[in-house]
Structure 1
Amino acid sequence: MFGKMTNTDARIVKDWKRFQADPPPGVEAEIDVNHIRNWKAVILGPEDSIWQGAVLLLSIDFPDNYPTKPPHVKFVSSVFHPNIYKSGEICLDILQNNWTSVYDVAAVLTSIQSLLTDPNPASPANIEAAQLFTKDEPAYERRVRKCIEAGWAAGDWE
């Protein structure tokens, strides 16, 4: 299916098979069979949260030294969140200085899904979102809902 594989590629395939066998709730991923180091993922906003109804697209790119180094994961969808840069880059400890090869794609996506409802405003990637989250939560929630609705209108999930 993939031809000659490196150790990195073999680990990616192992992660893929594990993900397919037991996908986390509210998370989907699709592997590019022509480029197994490039995945697309979808995170559904957790129910009973301001993110409910969100369909958020992400890209996942694996470096040559995965799993020693983390995958590069970023939002393709526009997301207003204290720990997500406007570029879609994600400020999350397991994708940076707390990475270990024990983590796999399911763990990463589940952590990102959890980050949506449990932001860390003390380590902001988006200062405006962090300030609204800590000082004016209703305004923060309105901005999040506006972002989610804009994603629906743009058809981000297609």
Structure 2
Amino acid sequence: MALKRINKELNDLSKVSREVNGLSKVSRELNDLSKDPPTNCSAGPVGDDLFHWQATIMGPEDSPYSGGVFFLNIHFPSDYPFKPPKVNFTTKIYHPNINGQGAICLDILKDQWSPALTISKVLLSISSLLTDPNPDDPLVPEIAHIYKTDRARYDQTAREWSQKYAQ
């Protein structure tokens, strides 16, 4: 029984240690972000919760999202940076890799995550996804099909949604 209790306490300490490390990494990233924000992006905590941030991405000039202001939620898991943050758009957007609930299909937010990545790099990757969608790995196949077969229609619809929802 004593050994079982000791193992539980060690597991609890290990969990606390991971959470402290995650909090430390999030704090460093916030500091780095405030000193050197990524182009057309900003992010910071919601209230006092360092594990919940709101981010803003300005629509890239060379995309149909130009002029739009897109908001995202970022939730850091307690074992960050060993697990990726959960990132989703709160602004509606017409995009083959972003669904109606704001979920984002981006490899670095899933199986290609690395603890060496930062929120700055994640935001830049999402901004890049706005300029260069990946229709071959879509979250919304219908939009990917339009992107591949009628680019002018895709661009027009993306512009209209940006004007309607991201102004």
* Common topology (TM > 0.5): yes
2:12 aligned partner: none
2:130 aligned partner: 116
Q: CA deviation at 1:151?
A: 1.4
Verify: 1:92 aligned to 2:106, yes or no.
yes
Verify: 1:82 aligned to 2:119, yes or no.
no
Structure 1 window deviating more from structure 2 (75-84 vs 48-57): it is 48-57
Do the aligned residues in 1 keep the contact of 2:62 with 2:131 (CA within 8 Å)? Answer: no
- What TM-score comes out, normalization by structure 2 length? 0.86
Q: CA deviation at 1:31?
A: 1.3
Q: CA deviation at 1:33?
A: 4.2
1:51 paired residue among 65, 75, 80 = 65
1:65 aligned partner: 79
What amino acid sits opposite 1:82 in the alignment? P
Aligned residue runs from structure 1 range 1-158, under 5 A: 6-152=20-166
1:12-50 CA-partner distances (Å, limit 9, x unpaired) = 001100111110110011212421100000000111321
5+ residue gaps, structure 2, are 1-18
5+ residue gaps, structure 1, are none
What amino acid sits opposite 2:73 in the alignment? S
Do the aligned residues in 1 keep the contact of 2:93 with 2:165 (CA within 8 Å)? Answer: no
Structure having the higher helix fraction is: 2
Do the aligned residues in 1 keep the contact of 2:92 with 2:161 (CA within 8 Å)? Answer: yes
2:13 aligned partner: none
Runs of 4+ aligned structure 1 residues displaced above 3 Å come to: none
- What TM-score comes out, normalization by structure 1 length? 0.90
Q: CA deviation at 1:116?
A: 0.6
Identity value in percent: 38
Distance in 1, matches of 2:130 and 2:34, equals: 23
Do the aligned residues in 1 keep the contact of 2:96 with 2:144 (CA within 8 Å)? Answer: yes
1:54-79 CA-partner distances (Å, limit 9, x unpaired) = 10000000001100000000000001
What amino acid sits opposite 2:136 in the alignment? A
2:11 aligned partner: none
Larger radius of gyration: 2
Aligned length: 149
- SS in structure 1 of the partner of residue 28 of structure 2: helix
